[in-house]
Chains A and B, each alone.
Chain A
């Protein structure tokens, strides 16, 4: 059955994500001014003004460049976080489910404990702990805030993907081809590498996309609260910057919100589609 019907939402989702990734990689080469540049003459301009496609907010920042920069940051943070968290989580989850025993109980319980704390609360707590400076008068440098943010979100993602990896490994380890591999004399670590991981990977990829959505929202929320990336560098930061604009300059808020929404919806949808495609291949008898 090779018929693949891609619906319009799917094309849109792939298209949007493609655009976001493009902006993330090539955004700095585009002929627009940086997001920090203040355009005093254009304050409060609405969208579709010449030279400022998305308008300018009440502080003078160009929203279009803000969106581009936000794309860079959000994608970067999401990819690093999910990649790192996914790698660590799967390592723990797969080995726990394959070897079982006390190790498995410890890992499983740790996952459940961390998962029981709401994502945002956990991230906030971690940022608060990791980002404090010894000298409280000095502002925390941006790179440090970025690293802190990534570490906190990674911790949030580890049990999410780890649990998926563990559940999938439990299911696959019970299949007879694993017993067959052992009976052939295959070493456990080879079995995990050649048999378990390729079969667990589809589920991880699908949930990985969902996790990207989670991270983007979390990062945006933290930035909105002021503990993420400062100065409007990300979409959440733009929301923080434009907080006062709701009454007279709402596009300064709506546009980053739309960008956020489209991105998360797209990643969710792509994850869903991938999961559907990968599931179908295996289930046929």
Chain B
């Protein structure tokens, strides 16, 4: 199966007055065509930076990026800015967490949708308007024709997110990046939007990268998951394999610390003690070492590499779950 996007050995470093901040350290990830890949991590894990870097959206004089990213066979990392920009809309598209800031508040919805149609696909005004109405109905907005004339402030969060999705799919992209698309939304609206994204993906045969911190979202809407911590991928596997067979203690701890609607009420939550390591001054061993319940000396000294457990399951731990040491706990 050919990968729609292939990220190999991506490093992203920011120069700060405190030193070099390694936001992403050697991430390799393949996004197969037509599949949905989840990237899970907390804030500070580097997941957003990784995706922005992969899309070529990071700019600034203090940003250093290395590694290769290929999209649809083309090497994005060796293209110029203009060429990468051409891929946007038609090849790749992105939707963001806060639709209010992603939409232009002083322009009408209709204008914002048809703008990308006219610029990228060269449609004339009438065709663009017709297509806009069509797109809005794809994203299940009631009365799409009336919606064209509205401004973003008149819409609710869920509606704005749908509009953003409509803009993103307007040029039939092959790959959609969704950066925490539902974090700011209510839970019922979240369910609607996630359902919409799944259906669109199936109908338009799109691949999707879903960035989130919610393991529940990932469990139901992705085929493959990569868990990031402190700038690296610490575990990646097909979704069902990951949940059935967790190897990295961080992943398990993350799952345990999330309040689960199925647990008994009044139960005490298991906590991950401590905080993320300082990104400028990372410990030389495993990044999770100060917070792991059974860290050993080796974890302090040596940085664990990614190990293949078979079944497409990779993990980064000296003593994964299931190991004798872990079982003693």
Set of chain A residues within 8 Å of B18, measured between Cβ atoms = 1
Set of chain B residues within 8 Å of A1, measured between Cβ atoms = 17-18
Interface check A194, CB cutoff 8 A: no
Q: Which 4 pairs show the lowest CB-CB distances between chains A and B?
A: A3-B17, A1-B17, A2-B17, A1-B18
Number of interface residues of A (CB under 8 A): 3
Chain B residue nearest to A3 (CB atoms) is B17
- Report the Cα distance A117→B236, complex, angstroms: 67
A177 nearest CB across to chain B (Å): 23
**Chain A, range 1-28, C-beta contacts under 8 Å to B:** 1-3
Set of chain B residues within 8 Å of A3, measured between Cβ atoms = 17
Interface size class of B (residues with CB under 8 A): under 10
Set of chain B residues within 8 Å of A2, measured between Cβ atoms = 17
- Report the Cα distance A2→B18, complex, angstroms: 10
B245 nearest CB across to chain A (Å): 38
Set of chain A residues within 8 Å of B17, measured between Cβ atoms = 1-3
Q: Please, could you name 4 A-B residue pairs with CB atoms under 8 Å apart, sorted by A?
A: A1-B17, A1-B18, A2-B17, A3-B17
**Chain B, range 2-20, C-beta contacts under 8 Å to A:** 17-18
A1 nearest CB across to chain B (Å): 5
Chain B residue nearest to A2 (CB atoms) is B17
- Report the Cα distance A1→B62, complex, angstroms: 15
B143 nearest CB across to chain A (Å): 34
For B6-37 the 0/1 string (1 means CB < 8 A from A) is 00000000000110000000000000000000
Chain A residue nearest to B16 (CB atoms) is A1
- Report the Cα distance A3→B18, complex, angstroms: 10
A281 nearest CB across to chain B (Å): 15
Chain B residue nearest to A1 (CB atoms) is B17
B43 nearest CB across to chain A (Å): 11
B106 nearest CB across to chain A (Å): 21
- Report the Cα distance A219→B17, complex, angstroms: 45
- Report the Cα distance A3→B19, complex, angstroms: 13
Chain A residue nearest to B18 (CB atoms) is A1
**Chain A, range 38-67, C-beta contacts under 8 Å to B:** none
B253 nearest CB across to chain A (Å): 26
- Report the Cα distance A212→B297, complex, angstroms: 64
- Report the Cα distance A1→B18, complex, angstroms: 8
A6 nearest CB across to chain B (Å): 16
A269 nearest CB across to chain B (Å): 24
